[in-house]
Amino acid sequence: AASSRPKLGSHFALELVRDRKVLRRSARCITMKVLSACVLASAAAFLGMRAPLPVKTPRVVKAPAVAMSSALAEESGVSLSSGGGMFTTSSPEDRRIGTELYQAAKADPGGARAPLKVVYVVLESQYQSSMSAAVKAINENENSGVACECVGYLLEELRDPANAAAFKKDVEEANVFIGSLIFVQELAEQVQAVVEAERDRLDAVLIFPSMPEVMRLNKVGGFTMASLGQSKSVVSEFMKKKKADDGSSFEEAMLKLLRTLPKVLKYLPGDKAKDAKSFMMSFQYWLGGSPENLQSMLLSLATTYVPAVVEKADMASLDQEGLIAEPVLLPDKGIWHPLGPEVYQTAEEYFQWYETEHAPAAGLAEDAPVVGVVLQKSHINTGDAGHYVSLISELEARGAKVVCIYSGGLDFSGPVKEYFFRQGGVAVDSVINLTGFALVGGPASQDHPKAVDTLKSLGVPYLCAVPLVFQSFQEWEASELGLHPVQVALQVSLPELDGAIEPIIYAGREGATGKSVPLDDRISTLAQRALKWGSLKRKENKDKKLAITIFSFPPDKGNVGTAAYLDVFGSILAVAKELKGRGYDLGDVDPSQMEAEDLMDMVLNDKEAKFDSPTLNVVHRMTMEEYERLCPYQDDLHENWGPPPGHLNSDGQNLLVFGAKFGNVFIGVQPSFGYEGDPMRLLFSKSASPHHGFAAYYTYLESVFDADAVLHFGTHGSLEFMPGKQVGMSGECYPDRLAGTIPNLYYYAANNPSEATIAKRRSYAATISYLTPPAENAGLYKGLKELSELVSSYQGLRENEARGPSIVNSIIAAAYSCNLDKDVKNLPDVEFDSKEVDLERRDTIVGMVYQRLMEIESRLLPMGLHTVGVPPTAEEAIATLVSIAEIDRPEDEILGLPRILANAEGRKLEEIYRNANEGVLQDVELLQKITQGTRAAVRALVQESTDSQGRVKEVQNVMEKALGGMFGQAPYRKALASQGFAKASEDKMLEPLFEYLEFCLRQVVADNELGALVDALDGQYIEPGPGGDPIRNPGVLPTGKNMHALDPQSIPTTAAVECANRVVEKLLERLEKDNGELPESVAFTLWGTDNIKTYGESLAQVLGLVGVRPVPDALGRVNKLELIPLEELGRPRIDVVVSCSGVFRDLFINQMNLLDRAVKLAAEADEPDDQNYVRKHAKEQAKELGMSVREAATRVFSNAAGSYSANVGLAIENGGWESENQLQEQFVGRKGFAFNADKPGMMTQSTDMFKAALSTVDVTFQNLDSSEISISDVSHYYDSDPTKVVEGLRKDGKKPSSMMADTTTANAQVRSLSETVRLDARTKLLNPKFYEGMLASGYEGTREITKRLRNTMGWSATAGEVDNFVYEDANDTFIKDEAMQKRLLETNPNAFRDMVTTFLEANGRGYWDTDEENVERLQELYQEVEDRIEGIV
């Protein structure tokens, strides 16, 4: 049929039928398969989409004119169900219509009307109004012959048991069931079960794009989709290939083909074709979405497939009344304006109308800024465009022009290129995507690279605003969590991968009618921010005002200019030089003539100043009149802080803004969170508000300095962690209030995507990633180096019976002097004589010591601090590349170099690792040889591309390498041969590995940190990129990207599950070996960044312990679970207590749902208690707490919404805590908010349940996954450690084991916490390479050393796992050494005072036992430093 009617199809259709395999089928078979494939393709593309794929018929209408008004009715009459804790508390009864007439018709079978019951389930409520109007029109028409009852359910409403029961009852009575966009897995299964049970009885089942298992329920006469997605067909495979090859042109061809199909089907014989036509026509009616289209759909179905209606329907009257009409649809794509007379098909046509008619009438200037707006076609179809109209009118009222585009498909890249460009140039200054979805593919099968290419060519800021889908605006407003987790995944996380910024909620759902309602204050905020971003493109650099904001945390301690891994003032100086060169007004200063120290002095006036000291430079004194006039929310701060000015950032009369102005550039100090005045004041509160000084600072930026942009400098400040919703800020949330309307740029460390994502979502930041400092191997020093030399001596003389044993004795003695006896299992005591044992035993002793030494030596540590815009040298890149070279990358078919070398030696790498860990000397030596060979080969690669200045030149391309190969072996192959790996040097697997390493080398030394900043300040699009560990994912590089996390529904990945299971095995093996038995319960801490870097490894570890397997659904999303049978598991199910960081909660609340469901699945399994500790403990706690086993199996906890951390670290940093018990109560109080998958809309304070769960814990466990951040680098790890909390809660008072997994290298390890603390202290705090590297950075470096000492003491407070020698050796290094004392004091007196205080506190609290001489020296030093700071000396 298609080949005989070439005009009906496109080039695509002709190509399809030319395929010889397809031609072997009959025309009818072809058409039916094309139909199924089309529907399947649309289903795959429609994951979570509201905008359906339109099918255009010959009748195309012009756009409806909608009154330009944002005055819409207040939400009223919303029925609330009893489902407490749900995100959606609306009621299906608001969507029930026609019941009385339907019941009357049922009671009177002989009457003029036949009863018809329709039940529909949809993702959101936009069809509610149209469906209700359609049913009302049918029932009001005397000639319809139908008495229709219709009831609609929103998918999320089915979580409520009462709604679920009502849904089941309604389907049991229904004639017709309609479903659309059913994509939430657990709810899809629920719908499937109910409809499947009634499918044979139902007269018709129409499922429009949804999960494949739901779509297989379709039944329209003889037309079904029973095999949908279950087998491959030539047609569907062809379509997939064409889509991959042709992109948006394929989509346009599909639209043409789909609207042709009903015509083709009309001419084919048989009922099946007729039924297929009915389905396709119904699909078109549904896509049309108007009351008239839906009326035609319902009557067409009823008069064809519902016997009672067929019997009574008067088709002649129906035709005469026009109750069944052809589908009426808008054009597939175009430019729409609510006052436009039509949908415009070209930019030229639109601008002709807009600029000659509309703009003059609206009073818009010729040179007005232009905002591009991306719309959802289905909202225009259904007449539900009030929220669009509101934003358009707001933008125009503020003097901006608009270009509003829509697409019928899911790929907006074509319309963007077609309509946002004009005469070869870009026609818009900024773009707002109002669909809330990814630009290409929506949330189903996104093509982010294509979206990024499109947006780069456009080159303007790209905002993606979010309409509420599952919640009414009242529900969202009342929710502490904010935006529904499904929406966060689909409409926040995925657009971020395109480079979208500013996920501002701009519209809600009116509960009674389901209509979209604009949120006036959000519309205003969105419009202002979009225009501010656009103004950066138009303004000249000399006129732009930039507010650079630096941080001070913790305050009062020489910490002004705090940022992770960053030389803040050196970096600001680099930025200032770049800005000066580009014409920005920096006043009288010339950055090229300044040092970082000069800049610091000018900003701080006195870098040794206390934070609130008047010696800090004050740029503005804000009077109370000015503050109260300019800060609209200041009244709300009185509850926490009293009336202004208060005592923070105040001189008693005015609020003080600290910093300095340089022309149009202001460098200001963000005020502290407010804890320092009274450290314990707010620690126990769920959250806090900013103090008046904090509010005054941001009020100054917005209303006094009048900044065009703010640049938050480094990781991280306090703005994004201020109280408010998790995601989807309201106007009452403090991050939103403080951010105001100023574009927010934010330099963020590339290895911290999770907190960067919080900044993006809560404070509307466009992040710019910066590199962490280059890493080096820790090396060995002092006694450790001497011990290593003894081991080398033994290797040469091991068989010498005279010398060998005496060297072993010396090794044992040296190991004790280095305190390695705690780490080397079964190390003989110092009295031991090695002459009394054989060679094998001596080898084992030396092997164990050697293994520990190599562990220390090879540990990576960041060296110094990074300066923005300064890429690493070639030498500095080597250690990072070595780590990259060590990892297997099966997805790229790349073997890691250690595995290649082990294979060449005829050994398995895992066996070498295992034996080395056990101290088998030969394998310790072989592993060291492999390590040295890897380093040598990588160094050879890098040196080949290094110039005389030590910088990487352009790496040789493939052709140059091929020519070079003609004259000899590649340098890396030579290096391997020289290291004793001759066979490996010929291995063919080296080539793909070293090609990959060359690519990585380019990325490591590339840099766009300054380039991205100046582009952003020019109002350009910042290219997005992933954050994380550059070793695991070199795609993090080069830096200077708008950083994003990942699709939260993609984790844990299969590879992450495999890695997690290996770690779980090692953990249980170690615990059984240490304790003689398996643990019954393990307490976990889950971190956001760690799970981004590892793609969910620690998440998968929790599932692995419980014995539950994550399973992807039909669309590849990880949201299904299955219980691993005990026989397969081979051990009992281990109970877990999961403490999620606040950031993890914000980013991965869907995964919290997964974890909670997994634990409940295990708890409800009918298994013996001794084989299922989850069930055992849940039963005990159910009895104790008087609740069901399911409720008692609550194991997933975090902070309250909008609250972060246990604040234990904050208390320790401020020193204001009185006892460990105080810290423990604080931990339980702040982290004891439970997540319940049965009531996913809230975090419930469940302190008793948290304590009950913790009281059974045998082991506390955390993960280290990156060499850049270890347990003494940040306070987060000990802040969330519950070791002593558990000890206090256990009935037997026993301290749990504390374990840490280390997956920073390919040789994953599980160590005790005390082993990890010792390893970290030896490689960082006590290591000259580390502290000398830090001291070279000056002021900031001294602070970094002190921070490690303070964080080490944190582990004493929370876990009691710090050995005395760590404090003693640190004291010897930094305090006893007078030269070192002097260096620290002169570099940063405040930080040195904090170091002295930490030593005294450690001693006073009983963590460090030392002699009186040390204590007295510290006390004298404290007074001396205090006098120096106060200016007495």
Q: What is the dihedral of CA 260, 284, 438, 334, to 10 degrees?
A: 70
* Overall pTM surpassing 0.75 (yes/no): yes
Q: Give the 3-state secondary structure of residue 894.
A: strand
Name the token pair of 1089. 């960044």
Reply yes or no on whether the pLDDT at 27 is more than 50: no
**How are the residues of the chain apportioned to helix, strand and coil, as percentages rounded to the nearest 5?**
50, 15, 35
Ranges 47-51, 354-358, 487-491, 914-918, most confident: 354-358
Cα distance between residue 103 and residue 81, in whole Å: 24
26-40, 424-438, 685-699: which has the highest mean pLDDT? 424-438
The answer, yes or no, to whether residue 1116 has pLDDT greater than 90, is no
Helices (H) and strands (E) in the chain, counts: 62, 38
Whether residue 958 is predicted with pLDDT greater than 50 in this model: the reply is no
pLDDT at 1231: 92
pLDDT higher than threshold 50 for residue 72? no
Report whether pLDDT(58) > 70: no
The DSSP line for 437-480 is S-TBTTTTS--HHHHHHHHHHH-S-EEE-EEEEEEEHHHHHH-S
Query: What are the pLDDT digits (tens) for 1273-1296?
Result: 888 888 889 999 999 999 999 999
pLDDT at 3 over 80: no
Question: Do the strands 709-713 and 430-433 form a parallel or antiparallel pair, or are they unpaired?
Answer: unpaired
Question: How far, in Å, CA of 403 to CA of 390, rounded?
Answer: 14
- Asked if the model's pLDDT at residue 1112 lies above 60, the reply is yes
Closest CA to 951 of 1001, 1010, 882: 1001
Does residue 827 register a pLDDT over 50? yes
State residue 959's pLDDT score.
47
Greater model confidence, 566 or 1205: 566
pLDDT recorded at residue 52: 30
Mean pLDDT of 12-18: 35
pLDDT at 443: 61
pLDDT of residue 447: 85
Summarize the confidence of residues 307-314 as an average pLDDT: 86
In 10 A of CB 1427, how many CB atoms? 11
Express each pLDDT in 474-519 by its tens digit.
888 888 888 888 788 888 989 999 999 999 999 988 777 888 889 9
* 916: nearest Cα among 840, 851, 999, 991: 851
Give the C-alpha separation, 39 to 32, whole Å: 11
**Cis ω for the linkage preceding 1038 (within 30 of 0):** yes
Q: How far apart are CA 782 and CA 787, in angstroms?
A: 9
Q: Burial level of 131, CB count in 10 A (0-12/13-18/19+)? A: buried
> Is the model's pLDDT at 14 over the cut of 60?
no
* Cβ within 8 Å of residue 395, ≥6 positions away: 371, 373, 402, 527, 530, 531
Q: Which residue is associated with the tokens 């585009």?
A: 405
In this prediction, residue 679 has a pLDDT band, given cuts at 50, 70 and 90, of: very low
Q: Using 50, 70 and 90 to split pLDDT, how confident is the model at 244?
A: low
Residue labelled with tokens 């260096």: 1383
Q: How far is CA 1119 from CA 482, 1060, 1154, 1161, in A?
A: 21, 18, 7, 14
Kindly tell me if the per-residue pLDDT of 1050 is higher than 90: no
pLDDT at 817 over 60: yes
pLDDT, averaged across the chain: 85
Q: What is the pLDDT of residue 611?
A: 42
The string of pLDDT tens digits covering residues 423-473 is 878 999 999 999 999 999 876 567 889 999 999 999 999 999 999 987 877
Structural contact between residues 309 and 303, judged by C-beta atoms closer than 8 angstroms: yes
What is the rounded CA–CA span in Å between residue 306 and residue 703?
Answer: 66
Beta-carbon contacts of residue 796 (< 8 Å; ≥ 6 apart)? none
Q: How would you class 1379 by CB atoms within 10 Å of its CB: exposed for 0-12, middle for 13-18, buried for 19 or more?
A: exposed
Higher per-residue pLDDT: 372 or 611:
372
> Each residue of 852-911: pLDDT tens digit?
999 999 888 888 888 998 888 888 888 889 989 998 988 888 999 999 999 999 999 999
Q: How confident is the model at residue 1107 (pLDDT cuts 50, 70, 90)?
A: very high
pLDDT band at 614 (very low <50, low <70, confident <90, very high): very low
Q: How far is CA 179 from CA 159, 532, 889, in A?
A: 16, 42, 42
Within 127-175, residue ranges assigned H as helices are 128-140, 161-173
Q: What is the C-alpha to C-alpha distance for residues 1211 and 686, in angstroms, rounded to an integer? A: 15
Which segment of 475-484, 832-841, 982-991, 1400-1409 scores lowest on mean pLDDT? Answer: 475-484
223 vs 1145: CA distance, rounded Å:
45
Over residues 659-672, mean pLDDT: 93
Tokens in use for 1209?
């670290």
The model's confidence at residue 963, banded by pLDDT at 50, 70 and 90, is: low
Least confident of 232-246, 434-448, 586-600: 232-246
Place of tokens 């037309």: 223
Say if residues 405 and 414 touch (Cβ distance below 8 Å). no
Sign of CA dihedral 702, 703, 707, 713: negative
Going by pLDDT thresholds of 50, 70 and 90, the confidence category of residue 183 is confident
Closest CA to 697 of 618, 768, 767: 618
Task: Name the more confident of 798 and 87.
Answer: 798
pLDDT band for position 57 (cuts 50, 70, 90): very low
Amino acid making up residue 252: E
pLDDT value of residue 1: 30
**Between 88 and 1017, whose confidence is greater?**
1017
Over range 730-755, report the average pLDDT: 94
What tens digit of pLDDT does each residue of 524-540 get?
Answer: 999 999 999 999 999 99
- The reported pLDDT for the residue numbered 38 is 54
pLDDT in tens, 904-913: 999 999 999 9
CA distances from 404 to 344, 379, 410, 427 (A): 10, 13, 16, 12
Mean pLDDT over 148-166 rounds to: 93
Token pair for 1128: 């397969």
Q: Pick the residue with more confidence: 569 or 564? A: 569
1067 confidence band (pLDDT: 50, 70, 90)? very high
Percent of the chain with pLDDT over 70: 87
How far apart are alpha carbons 1410 and 132 in whole angstroms? 80
Per-residue pLDDT tens for 618-632?
899 999 999 999 999
- Cβ pair 729, 476 in contact under 8 A: no
Per-residue pLDDT, averaged over 1049-1058, amounts to: 87
Q: What is the largest CA-CA distance in the chain?
A: 115
The pLDDT tens digits for 185-201 are: 889 999 999 999 999 99
What whole-number distance in Å separates Cα of residue 733 and Cα of residue 740? 11
Burial of 1363 (0-12, 13-18, 19+ CB in 10 A): middle
Backbone angles phi, psi at 1198, to 5 degrees: -165, -165
Q: Which pair of structure tokens corresponds to residue 980?
A: 């004793």
Helix (H) or strand (E) holding 1232: none
Sign of the torsion formed by the C-alpha atoms of 959, 961, 964 and 969: negative
Give me the DSSP letters along 669-691: EPPP-S-TTSTTSSTTSS-----
Would you place residue 581 in the very low, low, confident or very high pLDDT band (cuts 50, 70, 90)?
Answer: very high
pLDDT for residue 320 is more than 90: no
pLDDT at 938: 94
Of 259, 209, 266, the residue nearest 41 (C-alpha): 209
Nearest by Cα to 1157 from 1104, 1198, 1103, 1210: 1103
